[in-house]
Amino acid sequence: MGGLTVNTKLLRQILVGFVRDEVYKVGVRKGVLGLSGGIDSALVAYIAAEALGPENVHAYCMPYRTSNPESEAHARLVAESLGINFKVIEITPMIDAYFNVIPDADNMRRGNKMARERMTILYDHSAAVGGLVLGTSNKTELLLGYGTLHGDMASALNPIGDIYKSQVWALSEAMGVPSEVIEKKPSADLWAGQTDEQELGFTYREADELLYRMVDQRMSREELIAVGFDAAFIDNVARKVQGSHFKRRLPIIAKVSNRTIDRDFRYARDWGK
């Protein structure tokens, strides 16, 4: 499908330049990221290594005791092929300590807690090494709200947040991400055998085709139906996008003064940079 096919050479140039420019602007030279073994964080590691130099990229693999061992193996494979700094930090003790006190939490709460635990570790290490936390959520996940607020959705800057999962696949291939990482089924690795697509109820390719037309091309529901999308699928995805919108916004502030942060006290984040 035309619109989702990208010139990977140009995309790579823009994203590498983005990471270099926005990291250096802050006055640091390093990037910190979580390497899950999945394709999104692998791609960000490739972009960061090219932008900052592999010696300036610090990657952390943070497994829980139920995590698939293959995830850590793939994270290590990515780190070794790039020559970036790599460390494994088990989150089992912190997570278990918490849920020993709160034993009735369901899978979703456990998964969210793990995601947030990992992000606190990344921010702690960003202070330790003097680098910025690089985000690894792609546009598909961000639009569907398929991520944890203040967990994997947090970051100082995100190079892949405006590219769809299909484009992540294409760019990963162009940048040389190992094929076993590209080809495996996307999974948040929350429990054994879990896959994103099974949990979502549709494939990323299907979602991307729809989201691209809905969001980027602003096609109406009628137009989407006319080009062949199923009405129930459109409504399901549209509901997810709308329902997760709060995750994509800053917390709202009750306005009482004349100049309220973000509403009428407005500066770019790169103010003075």
Partner 1 sequence: MDFTVALAQIKPKLGCLDDNMALAEAAIEKGIAAGADLVVFPELALTGYFLKDLVPEVALRLDSPQIEKLKKLSERISIAIGFVEVSADFRFFNSAVYLEDGEIRHVHRKVYLPTYGLFDEQRYMARGERFRAFDTRFGRIGMLICEDMWHLSAPYILAMDGAMTLICLSSSPGRGVTESEGLGSAAAWQKLTTTTAMFLNCRVFYCNRVGYEDGINFWGGSEAIAPSGEMTDRGALLEEDFVLAKVDGGALRRERIFSPMMRDENLAITVKELKRIDREKDC
Annotated binding site for deamido-NAD(+): 116
In angstroms, give the least distance from the CB of 8 to partner 1: 9
Q: What are the binding residues for Mg(2+)?
A: 40, 141
Type and span of the H or E element at 59: strand 57-61
Helix 39-52 and helix 165-175, axial crossing angle in degrees, nearest 10: 50
Cα–Cα distance for residue pair 67/182, rounded to 1 Å: 19
Q: Provide the minimum distance between the beta carbon of 35 and partner 1 in the complex, in angstroms, as a whole number.
A: 22
Shorter beta-carbon distance to partner 1: residue 114 or 171 = 171
Shortest approach of partner 1 to residue 2 CB, angstroms? 7
**Binding annotation:** 34-41, 116, 136, 141, 165, 187
Q: How far apart are the C-alpha atoms of 177 and 168, rounded to whole Å?
A: 11
Q: How far is the CB of 63 from partner 1 (least distance, A)?
A: 31
CB nearer to partner 1: give 39 or 171.
171
Q: Which is nearer to partner 1, 22 or 117 (CB)?
A: 22
Closest separation between CB of residue 268 and partner 1, Å?
4
Task: Provide the minimum distance between the beta carbon of 167 and partner 1 in the complex, in angstroms, as a whole number.
Answer: 9
CA 164 and chain centroid, separation: 11
**Alpha helix (H) ranges present in the chain?**
8-25, 39-52, 69-82, 92-101, 107-129, 139-144, 165-175, 179-183, 196-200, 204-211, 221-226, 231-243
Residue nearer to partner 1 on the CB measure, 13 or 242 = 13
CB contact at 8 A, 178 and 81 = yes
Torsion, Cα 23 24 28 33, to 10 degrees, reads 20
Through-space distance between the first and last CA atoms of the chain, rounded to whole angstroms: 39
Nearer to partner 1, 10 or 252 (CB): 10
C-beta closer to partner 1: residue 86 or 164:
164
CB 168 within 8 A of CB 40: yes
Q: Which residues bind partner 1 (CB under 8 A)?
A: 2-3, 5-7, 10-11, 13-14, 17-18, 21-22, 157, 265-273
What backbone phi and psi angles, to 5 degrees, belong to 86?
A: -140, 135
What does the block give as tokens for 192? 């054994």
